[in-house]
Amino acid sequence: MFNDNCMNGAYLGPGEDLKLARAVDSLQLRCEDQKGPTRLGGAVVVSTIGTPCASASDADACAAALSASWAGDGYLVTRYNPMGCINHYLVWTAGDEVGTVRTREALLALLGPVDTLADADLLIWADGYEPLCVGDVTEGGVEVQAKRRISDCPMQTNTYVLTVSPTGQVSEVSVQEGPQGPCIGRLAPGAPEPCLSAQVGRWLAGVAALEAGAAVAFAQLRDELVHHGAPEALVRAAETAVADEQRHAAQVGTLARRYGADPLPCDAARVPLRSLATIAEDNAAEGCAREVWGAAVGLFQAQNARDPAVREAMTAIAADELAHAELSRALQAWLLPRLSPAARRRAARAQRRAWRRVAKTAQAPAEAVFTEALGLPTPAQAMALLDGVSRAG
């Protein structure tokens, strides 16, 4: 069901094995940047199975209805994909009918009994897993393999063996925990996490890739601010942040080589210009939470790293990250009055979720080599640091 980019978790493939409860002419996977048919950039058709409106009595009317359809109130799944949009749903055509699938219940109704690998992969993808397109049909259901990011800070992705029952119940049979990665600064929209190991050099190599990705994120933001007519001061601050992050990538890359590792490639890419509402949600999480925490951790490293080269680099980087956090707050102050009440609530929820993730993952133990050489906080120190950040507002 998924193509060679199965790991991206956002592609319907040929569909020979996708078994639906009703006959359809076509099934489209779409994604949007913002709710509503007038959203910036419109909906993106990620992939299509079948021929839309093939058996319609009035093909033009069916095509018009298909073009006008959108998810409405809610999405099947919200996650970044490499095409730059985040809110996904399905649209089907059957004769003259056009329908959308924007809930798990609606997806199960469309699938009927889950009894093929393609059915199971689509369902677990909607549940937030990344199917590996490997599995078997057993007497008890469909057994599949998948990955899932369980933490953004520190980044950690686990690998699972899952069983999907015919009624759509998903059970975790086994889990293999992945390594923990760095938690510094702003992630570019859709940027994949770098591959990391427990070695200091490789950890720093991953951080260098994240810093390079942050430069992409700020370049994206700068262009979006120009597009939306933001104040010149915000545009200049975003432009400065681009140069800062490029410099950070070079500084941390030098540290990585000092520990015997080459910087990892930065796979972050620019995405289509986003709406103000989407920018606000992203900035609430990445800027007003993640970057604030990254700056606090950087200051802690600057004071506690055993390696003087790390202390020197983190002193300069943390100062820049504090400026980026102030940019994020100023940006949010400009954005929020321009949003609908619902969009403001979504941004507030995104920020609360981001801080909850930080609080949860701050308690994860770090290996001694990281706390000593790099000055990363222990769980107790991280929680005390988080408390200080919270009280500072």
What is the reported pLDDT for 185? 56
Q: Is residue 35 part of a domain?
A: yes
What is the reported pLDDT for 245? 94
Q: Is residue 184 part of a domain?
A: no
Q: Give CA–CA dist 318/67, Å, rounded.
A: 48
The amino acid present at 336, given as its one-letter code, is L
Q: Is residue 29 part of a domain?
A: yes
Both 103 and 210 in a single domain? no
User: How far out from the chain centre does Cα 42 lie?
Assistant: 20
Q: Is residue 258 part of a domain?
A: yes
- Tens digits of pLDDT across the chain (393 residues): 333 334 344 445 444 567 889 899 999 888 776 444 333 346 777 778 889 999 999 999 999 999 888 766 677 877 655 444 567 889 999 999 999 998 999 999 999 999 888 888 889 988 888 888 778 888 878 998 888 877 655 567 788 999 999 999 999 999 988 766 555 556 555 444 443 334 688 888 888 888 888 999 999 999 999 999 999 999 999 999 999 999 999 999 999 888 888 877 776 667 788 999 999 999 999 999 988 998 999 999 999 998 899 999 999 999 999 999 999 999 999 999 999 999 999 999 999 988 888 887 777 766 676 788 888 888 889 889 888 887 766
- The parent domain of residue 229 ranges over 200-392
What is the reported pLDDT for 251? 94
Both 232 and 381 in a single domain? yes
Residue 158 has which token pair? 């686990």
Residues 175, 197 contacting (CB under 8 angstroms): no
- Crossing angle (nearest 10°) for helices 200-227 and 308-335: 30
Burial of 315 (0-12, 13-18, 19+ CB in 10 A): middle
Q: Following CA atoms 250, 81, 340, 323 in sequence, which dihedral angle do they give, to the nearest 10 degrees?
A: -10
Residues 220, 188 contacting (CB under 8 angstroms): yes
Residue 266 has which token pair? 């930065």
Final residue of a domain: which of 72, 95, 111?
111
Residues 203, 186 contacting (CB under 8 angstroms): no
Three-point CA angle 287, 41, 60, nearest 5°:
150
Judge if the upstream peptide bond of residue 113 is cis by omega within 30 degrees of 0. no
Ranges of H-type helices in the chain = 59-68, 104-111, 117-126, 200-227, 232-258, 276-282, 292-304, 308-335, 341-361, 368-369, 379-392
Instruction: State how far the alpha carbon of 149 is from the alpha carbons of 162, 187, 191, 193, in Å.
Output: 15, 14, 13, 10
What is the reported pLDDT for 75? 77
Both 230 and 342 in a single domain? yes
Residue listed under structure tokens 């319907």: 12
Q: Is residue 359 part of a domain?
A: yes
Both 266 and 363 in a single domain? yes
The amino acid present at 215, given as its one-letter code, is A
| Structural domains counted in the chain | 2
Residue 276 has which token pair? 């103000």
Residues 330, 237 contacting (CB under 8 angstroms): yes
Q: Is residue 121 part of a domain?
A: no
CATH number, position 308: 1.20.1260
Both 107 and 242 in a single domain? no
Backbone phi and psi for residue 96, each to the nearest 5 degrees, phi listed first:
-90, 0
Both 75 and 207 in a single domain? no
Both 237 and 370 in a single domain? yes
Both 228 and 341 in a single domain? yes
What is the reported pLDDT for 186? 61
Backbone phi and psi for residue 361, each to the nearest 5 degrees, phi listed first:
-80, -20
Least Cα distance to 21 among 95, 100, 109, 82 occurs for: 109
What is the reported pLDDT for 6? 47
